[in-house]
Chain A
Amino acid sequence: MSLIISHLTVQVESKILLSNISFELKKGETVGLMGPNGSGKSSLALTLMGHPRYQITSGGIYLDRKDISKLPPDQRAKLGLFLGFQNPSALPGVNVRQLITSTHKSALSIKRQAQKLAKNLFLEQESTNRSLNLDFSGGEKKKMEVLQMDLLNPRYAILDEIDSGLDLDALRLISSSIKKSSAGILVITHYPRLLKLLSPNRILILKSGTIVKFASSDIISQLEKSGYSHI
């Protein structure tokens, strides 16, 4: 049971952003993805979820052995893939419960679950009734992504800078929430703090659209000291 990325090359408007990316994310494990700004981390996240702007020119994405690289995002989601967005879109007039209920029948159980999760994440109850991400603070947006992940219970989740803009308490809350998940998790971050809390099985370093290093989590402290330039 794993998400396998195999020799993936991706371009946007004939510019190659990712080349020959290969790695495996097993269900239940946590993998950190780090790299300098512009190295292609978010591009990879969006490609895996199926954003139409990112064209796969070669390679494949296999979710539990099924090639999903030609499927639209909704079908990838239905197979158990989740993306926690770095910049989630605002949805005027649509709250998180309506969003999740439109693909899951039981509105009542979603409501109960959402309220419970909101409480655990120290989100105001009202936030599950408000237009999603509209006038939300940075922290509320990130917590709401984690809340959706919990509601959807994916097999594999990509979390793109889920820690940016969070204070220390919020960081602890979401990381303990993420740790409870049984999904395979790819965590994209710039900061060692989240990785220390999540204790990932492995770290991948992405530079200029290529994976330059597979490392154990020991590399985190080295990166803190000397940055990416030596890798």
Chain B
Amino acid sequence: MSRFAPISSSTLTPSPDYPLGHSDQVDYEFRSTAGLTEHTVRQISTFKNEPPWMLNIRLSALAEFNHMPTPKWGGDLSRIDFAKIHYYLKPSQQSVGDWDKVDSRIKKTFDKIGVPQAEREMLAGVKAQFDSEVIYSSLKSFLAKKGVIFLGMDEGLRQYPDLVRQYFGKLVPSADNKLAALNTAVWSGGSFVYIPPNTQVDLPLQAYFRINSPAAGQFERTLIIAEEGSRVHYVEGCSAPAYSDGSLHAAVVEIFVKKGATVQYTTVQNWYKNVYNLVTKRARVEEEGHMRWVDGNLGSRLTMKYPSCFLTGRKATGETLSLALAGSHQHQDTGAKMYHLAPETSSQILAKSVSFAGGRTSYRGMVQINPAAAGCRSKVVCDALILDPRSRSDTYPTNKVLNSTSTVEHEAIVSRVGEDQLFYLMSRGLTEHQSETLIVNGFLSPIIKQIPLEYAVEMNRLVDLEMEGSVG
């Protein structure tokens, strides 16, 4: 779209050198054969030494998965071949709590994506997920003293089976949708977080996820329980290296926000461009509780993700800040859902999206205020920035207000980067690429400000990398 440089004859090709596209050689102790059968599911459960009830949950989810049709209402899922996916990989490295004991090749991978630096600085604890197994975990002692549990989901199930059983699948039942059923059948990894009553965790809990094998599905399962009056901020970062085969990421996140508790869940995500990222994220918010999703969607071929809040207690609040960036051959179908089930609950959705180089963003959202939920308020702002005529943005909002004392405000703005705006920046010495990047970062800044600093810096860098090569 370069309007300022002399026209060159070279055609636009995607950067062959994807900056995070390194694939390191790692030994896997076990790699399930491709495809999903009852045998695979039983094998996963056996490997993990799970209690029989979890195996049963997995098996019934498998049956549901097999029955349910692939959703047709969102992005194009027709190219996913569920039979070609490896559903479980176990690296030959057990979960360890000490960084020094981590395999040097695995460390090298983490070095490239910057985990150790983040760790040294201000982490409260790191769960770094390497494919399907948590191989590195550390938990600062002060958190443990407070009774905070921050474990890999597999370890959480081993150590706290009763707690897990009480909450697992209660918010996202396996029959909720086909991908949730799939996740429930084959889940592996993810985080288990428990915050005791009236406990404040001041530093963010951080996890770093990564897919590192061709056609490796990653099906992590995260469960966060924030007891009454507690407070926690959980951050997940995602990055996947380059592969030619399609990869599938189908995660499920369930969050229980008890009375007066506050939870923020921040995602900074950069999947490689062949990944299908289909995630179900849901929170239940009780009386005067507050839930905030900050959801950054970069990379992937297709992302379908609509973090939701079920506001079940009086004066509960839910908030989603969502950011999506779609370039060439990418579709970000994202948004949020807010269900007001109790009186005087309020919600806010701010969805900002950028499409460029033929990319497509869609906002898909739902606000429902039930008849008994009197005096509720909701505000939805969808803000789309389109960089060139080849790119596209759509909005699919659904608002249902089922009583007369509640209000929903909806605002949708589509803006284009104008020639005059670019010219203004370039007259100050910025190249066309620098100008576009600065405009995009400025546009996204209200959301990036809500992300912890080290991730915000990475986010800006990722936006910059994503947009490289978009100027032809």
Within 8 Å of chain A (Cβ to Cβ): is B431?
yes
Within 8 Å of chain B (Cβ to Cβ): is A100?
yes
Contact A77 B427 (CB under 8 A): yes
Contacts A94-B439, A102-B438; A52 near B427 (Cβ below 8 A): no
Expressed in whole angstroms, the Cα–Cα distance for A148 and B430 within the complex equals 14
Contact B442 A73 (CB under 8 A): no
Expressed in whole angstroms, the Cα–Cα distance for A78 and B431 within the complex equals 10
Contact B428 A93 (CB under 8 A): no
Within 8 Å of chain B (Cβ to Cβ): is A138?
no
Expressed in whole angstroms, the Cα–Cα distance for A93 and B423 within the complex equals 17
Contact B428 A72 (CB under 8 A): no
Contact B4 A92 (CB under 8 A): no
Expressed in whole angstroms, the Cα–Cα distance for A60 and B21 within the complex equals 46
Expressed in whole angstroms, the Cα–Cα distance for A88 and B445 within the complex equals 21
Contacts A77-B426, A102-B438, A148-B428; A50 near B443 (Cβ below 8 A): no
Q: Which of B423, B428, B438, B444 contacts A52 (CB 8 A)?
A: B423
CB neighbours (8 Å) of B419 from chain A are: 52-53
Contact A73 B444 (CB under 8 A): no
Contact A93 B429 (CB under 8 A): no
CB neighbours (8 Å) of B69 from chain A are: none
Expressed in whole angstroms, the Cα–Cα distance for A91 and B442 within the complex equals 7
Expressed in whole angstroms, the Cα–Cα distance for A199 and B426 within the complex equals 30
Expressed in whole angstroms, the Cα–Cα distance for A88 and B424 within the complex equals 7
Q: Which residues of chain A (55-89) have a CB below 8 Å from chain B? A: 70, 72-74, 76-78, 82-83, 85, 88-89
CB neighbours (8 Å) of A73 from chain B are: 4, 423, 426-427
CB neighbours (8 Å) of B3 from chain A are: 52
CB neighbours (8 Å) of A22 from chain B are: none
B79 → A minimal CB distance (Å)? 36
Contact A52 B4 (CB under 8 A): yes
Within 8 Å of chain B (Cβ to Cβ): is A98?
yes
How many pairs of residues, A versus B, come closer than 8 Å at their CB atoms?
A: 84
Contacts A51-B423, A91-B439, A131-B442; A100 near B428 (Cβ below 8 A): yes
Q: Which residues of chain B (441-471) have a CB below 8 Å from chain A? A: 441-446
Contact A89 B424 (CB under 8 A): yes
Expressed in whole angstroms, the Cα–Cα distance for A94 and B445 within the complex equals 9
Expressed in whole angstroms, the Cα–Cα distance for A52 and B443 within the complex equals 24
B417 → A minimal CB distance (Å)? 10
Contact B424 A74 (CB under 8 A): no
CB neighbours (8 Å) of B446 from chain A are: 93
Q: Which of B420, B431, B442 contacts A93 (CB 8 A)?
A: B442
Q: Which residues of chain B (1-59) have a CB below 8 Å from chain A? A: 3-6
When C-beta atoms are compared, the residue in chain A nearest to B431 turns out to be A74
Within 8 Å of chain A (Cβ to Cβ): is B66?
no
1/0 per residue, CB under 8 A from A, across B372-408: the answer is 0000000000000000000000000000000000000
Listed residue (A50, A53, A72, A76) with the most chain B CB atoms within 10 angstroms of its CB: A72
Within 8 Å of chain A (Cβ to Cβ): is B432?
yes
Within 8 Å of chain A (Cβ to Cβ): is B425?
yes
Within 8 Å of chain A (Cβ to Cβ): is B370?
no
Within 8 Å of chain B (Cβ to Cβ): is A170?
no
CB neighbours (8 Å) of B418 from chain A are: 89
CB neighbours (8 Å) of B442 from chain A are: 91-94, 98, 131
CB neighbours (8 Å) of A102 from chain B are: 430, 434, 438
Within 8 Å of chain A (Cβ to Cβ): is B421?
yes
CB neighbours (8 Å) of B425 from chain A are: 91, 99
Contact B432 A72 (CB under 8 A): yes
Expressed in whole angstroms, the Cα–Cα distance for A49 and B443 within the complex equals 26
Interface size on B, residues (CB 8 A): 28
Q: Which of B423, B429, B443 contacts A78 (CB 8 A)?
A: B429
Contact B4 A50 (CB under 8 A): yes
CB neighbours (8 Å) of A70 from chain B are: 6
A74 → B minimal CB distance (Å)? 4
CB neighbours (8 Å) of A50 from chain B are: 4, 423, 426-427
Q: Which of B6, B429, B438, B443 contacts A77 (CB 8 A)?
A: B429
Within 8 Å of chain B (Cβ to Cβ): is A103?
yes
Within 8 Å of chain B (Cβ to Cβ): is A152?
yes
CB neighbours (8 Å) of A131 from chain B are: 442
Expressed in whole angstroms, the Cα–Cα distance for A100 and B247 within the complex equals 41
Contact A99 B427 (CB under 8 A): no
B139 → A minimal CB distance (Å)? 36
A144 → B minimal CB distance (Å)? 12
Expressed in whole angstroms, the Cα–Cα distance for A112 and B446 within the complex equals 25
Contacts A88-B424, A99-B425, A99-B438; A74 near B430 (Cβ below 8 A): yes
When C-beta atoms are compared, the residue in chain B nearest to A49 turns out to be B427
CB neighbours (8 Å) of B426 from chain A are: 50, 72-74, 77
When C-beta atoms are compared, the residue in chain B nearest to A77 turns out to be B429
Contact A93 B421 (CB under 8 A): no
Expressed in whole angstroms, the Cα–Cα distance for A7 and B418 within the complex equals 31
When C-beta atoms are compared, the residue in chain A nearest to B383 turns out to be A92
Q: Which of B5, B428, B439, B444 contacts A152 (CB 8 A)?
A: B428
Expressed in whole angstroms, the Cα–Cα distance for A73 and B4 within the complex equals 8
When C-beta atoms are compared, the residue in chain A nearest to B4 turns out to be A72
Contacts A89-B418, A89-B424; A103 near B429 (Cβ below 8 A): yes
Contact B431 A89 (CB under 8 A): no
B91 → A minimal CB distance (Å)? 41
Expressed in whole angstroms, the Cα–Cα distance for A100 and B434 within the complex equals 12
CB neighbours (8 Å) of A51 from chain B are: 423
Contact B423 A91 (CB under 8 A): no
Contact B430 A91 (CB under 8 A): no
CB neighbours (8 Å) of B438 from chain A are: 91, 94, 98-99, 102
Expressed in whole angstroms, the Cα–Cα distance for A49 and B428 within the complex equals 10
B245 → A minimal CB distance (Å)? 38
CB neighbours (8 Å) of B431 from chain A are: 72, 74
When C-beta atoms are compared, the residue in chain B nearest to A78 turns out to be B429
Q: Which residues of chain A (1-57) have a CB below 8 Å from chain B? A: 46, 49-53
9 residue pairs bridging A and B, Cβ less than 8 Å apart: A50-B4, A72-B5, A74-B426, A74-B431, A76-B427, A85-B427, A98-B442, A103-B428, A103-B434
Q: Which A-B residue pairs are the 4 nearest by beta carbons? A: A93-B442, A94-B442, A77-B429, A73-B426
Query: B-contacting residues of A (Cβ < 8 Å)?
Result: 46, 49-53, 70, 72-74, 76-78, 82-83, 85, 88-89, 91-94, 98-100, 102-103, 131, 148, 152
